[in-house]
Amino acid sequence: MSGNAGGGTNATRASAGAPPPKPTRPGGSLERVTVNLTLRSSQALDEAVRLTGDTKTDAINRAVQLYAFVEKVIDQGGSVYVRDAESGELERLRFL
């Protein structure tokens, strides 16, 4: 999923003798990726941006991190639940 598969910007910088880009966030440099969203996912992204005020990039970053966390919990035999605000009932979160 890397955006540099065709020998793009990073290869050009390296051959020109320029130093590699400096990390702009803790944990390393940024990686550019291209994704194709379904209509449903695109609408969900717009809704997340509207609800949080985050940028699309920030919303996608948070979604990927949350997805990895949930998958790790499930992989280790755990479960993740959400509580309905009105009824207080718990519902188990599942990914199909």
Q: Which conformational region is residue 28 in: left (phi greater than 0), alpha (psi within -120 to 50 degrees), or beta? A: left
Mean of pLDDT over the chain: 82
Going from the C-alpha of 1 to that of each of 31, 51, 63, the distances in angstroms are: 9, 28, 16
Please state, in angstroms and rounded to a whole number, the distance separating the CA atoms of residues 38 and 42: 6
Please state, in angstroms and rounded to a whole number, the distance separating the CA atoms of residues 20 and 8: 13
Identify the pLDDT of residue 53.
98
- Rounded to two decimals, the pTM is 0.65
User: Directed axis angle between helix 56-75 and helix 39-52, to 10°?
Assistant: 110
Encode the chain (96 residues) as per-residue pLDDT tens digits. Answer: 434 334 344 444 444 566 665 555 566 789 999 999 999 999 999 999 999 999 999 999 999 999 999 999 999 999 999 999 999 999 999 888
